[in-house]
Structure formats: C-alpha cells, structure tokens
Amino acid sequence: MSTTLLLLADGRFPAGGHAHSGGLEAAVTAGRVRDLDDLDAFLRGRLATVGLVSAAFAAAACAGGDIHTLEAGLDARTLSPALRKASRAQGRALLRAGRTLWTLPTAERELHHPVALGVVAAAAGLTPAEAALTAAYGTVTGPASAAVRLLGLDPYATHALVARLAPDCDAVAARAATVDDLPACSAPLLDIGAETHATWEVRLFAS
C-alpha cells in the first residue's frame, strides 16, 4: 500500500492544500517568522500541537470512529471560527478528490480535514497509522511550501529542514495512532493569527 500512501501525502494531490499556509502568512506578516530558524520553531510548534491533534483524529476516523463524534470533538478543540472554516474547506476538497478515486462510506460533503483524511485513507486501504502519518506530514509541509513562496526561502534549505523534522513527524504520528484519549493541545497564537488573517483586505492564502 505504500504507493497509495505517497499518492495521498503528495503535495500535488488536488485537495486544495496549496491555498492554505497553516497560519504561516499571519505569522510572517506579524514578523514572527522571518527566516529558516523561525520557520523551524514555527513548524515544531505546529507539529506538537495541531499536528498531534490532526494526526490522532485522522487515525481515529480511519479506524472507523463515529464521524459525528469526531467532528464535535474537533469543533471543541478548534477555538477559532476561521480555522474551523479552513479545516472544513480543506476537508471538502479532500472528500471531492477522495470520492473520485475511491468508494467512500459516507455521502457527507464537508468534514473537518483530519476526519476527511481518516475517511479517505480508510477507503484507500490505508491503516490508521498511515492516516496519522499523512496528517502529521501535511501539517509540516503545507506551511513549509508556503514559506518558500512567501519568504523566498531557499527550497533546498527548506526541504533540509523538513528532512530534519522527519523523526519528529514519525514520532507524533506513532503517538497519535496509539493514544487512548484524543489529545487537545492548542497553539493560541495560531488561533489569534487566524482570526486576524480572516479580516485582512489583502491576503494571498485562504488561511
């Protein structure tokens, strides 16, 4: 099943991710992320919070968890209305793509992105651990590729950073796939940044 995993985790998979910066655009404009070191810290913070939660929910959805319970759980964990909207928009895009490729067990058109990811991964024949890995990887690569576009960072250096984060990504995914209680870590600056970002006249990314 490894090729299917690569397909789903590929940044070129047409599921709307390219238009979302994972909070990076807000952080860049606020002056919190200016260079590769800042990006390193930003990605680590994101992976340890949003990344772990997303990976755990993706794994739970993939394992056949009740979709509505998981949706409510993510709503409760996502303070920012703008981030709930962004999550659902990406979930919708992923369901559209997933439905074209595989047979989904739900007619739901819009779900939180991690839940959609779990549902689509299961339909593709992937395991909860693989769904968690895809989610954790995506929380890192989305903002990393946005950083290349927004800050003009060297793409080699940025990919080297992602490579350095690979063991952390693996560890977060492994933990997410084995936890008993769904985690509820949060990153307040991401919530605040997302709310500010949503009010801008001029923005390049949807979130």
Which residues in this chain contact another protein in the complex, by CB under 8 A?
A: 12, 14-21, 89, 92-93, 96-97, 99-103, 123, 125, 146, 149-150, 201-206
Question: Could you tell me the smallest distance in angstroms from the CB atom of residue 30 to another protein?
Answer: 18
Q: How far apart are CA 59 and CA 127, in angstroms?
A: 8
Question: Could you tell me the smallest distance in angstroms from the CB atom of residue 174 to another protein?
Answer: 27
Is the Cβ of residue 13 or residue 52 nearer to another protein in the bound state? 13
Residue with tokens 């560890």: 171
Q: How far apart are CA 204 and CA 17, in angstroms?
A: 13
Beta carbons within 10 angstroms of residue 101's beta carbon:
14
Question: Could you tell me the smallest distance in angstroms from the CB atom of residue 143 to another protein?
Answer: 11
Residue type, 198: A
Is the Cβ of residue 159 or residue 203 nearer to another protein in the bound state? 203
Tokens found for residue 192:
């605040």
Is the Cβ of residue 95 or residue 169 nearer to another protein in the bound state? 95
Q: How far apart are CA 206 and CA 191, in angstroms?
A: 14
Is the Cβ of residue 93 or residue 173 nearer to another protein in the bound state? 93
Question: Could you tell me the smallest distance in angstroms from the CB atom of residue 112 to another protein?
Answer: 16
What is the Rg, in whole angstroms, of the alpha carbon atoms belonging to the chain? 16
Is the Cβ of residue 39 or residue 182 nearer to another protein in the bound state? 39
Question: Could you tell me the smallest distance in angstroms from the CB atom of residue 64 to another protein?
Answer: 14
Question: Could you tell me the smallest distance in angstroms from the CB atom of residue 159 to another protein?
Answer: 18
Q: How far apart are CA 114 and CA 159, in angstroms?
A: 24
Is the Cβ of residue 123 or residue 187 nearer to another protein in the bound state? 123
Termini Cα distance of the chain:
32
Tokens found for residue 10:
């590929």
Q: Which of 10, 14, 39 is nearest to 150 (CA)?
A: 39
